[in-house]
Each structure stands twice: as C-alpha cells, then as structure tokens.
Amino acid sequence: MMGDIYIDKTISLWGGQNGELFIETENNGVICWNVQTLLDDLPSIIKIAMEEKKIDDKDKLESLKNIIKEL
C-alpha cells in the first residue's frame, strides 16, 4: 500500500504526449495523472477545494479576530 502524498507546492507541469499530465512537486516527486480521469474528477476536485478554502479562510479570519482582541 502506498502512503499519502502531500503536495505543498507544484514545481512543474507537462504533458506526456500519451494522454497523461505530469506534476513535479517540491520534494522532487512526480505524479502522473491520466487526463481523462483528471477531467472526470475535476468537478468534484473543484467543489472539495472550494469548500476547504472557505474553511481555511474562516479559520484565518477567526485567528485574526483573536489577535486583534489581544491588542
């Protein structure tokens, strides 16, 4: 079983000329993604990403409010 892959930063993206998308990560890892699978998954990926972004923004705002209260 493969472990989790965490991508903090993307270094490079390129096509493989065979229906593949390659993503190089900052830890020198490379992920190969079948583009049809990626396109099929993209609506769900975008929905989940937007939900996570809202949660992150809310957490940052709460943190900022707490800092202001302490001043």
Which residues, in sequence order, are bridge partners of residue 35? Answer: none
- From first to last of its 71 residues, the chain has per-residue pLDDT tens of 677 888 899 999 999 889 999 999 998 889 999 999 999 999 999 999 999 999 999 999 999 999 999 88
- Single pTM value for the model: 0.74
- The reported pLDDT for the residue numbered 5 is 82
| b/e per residue 36-70 (b: at least 16 CB within 10 A) | eeeeeeeeeeeeeeeeeeeeeeeeeeeeeeeeeee
- The rounded distance, in Å, linking the Cα atoms of 30 and 22 is 7
H-run or E-run covering 10: strand 10-15
Q: Where are the domains of the chain?
A: 10-70
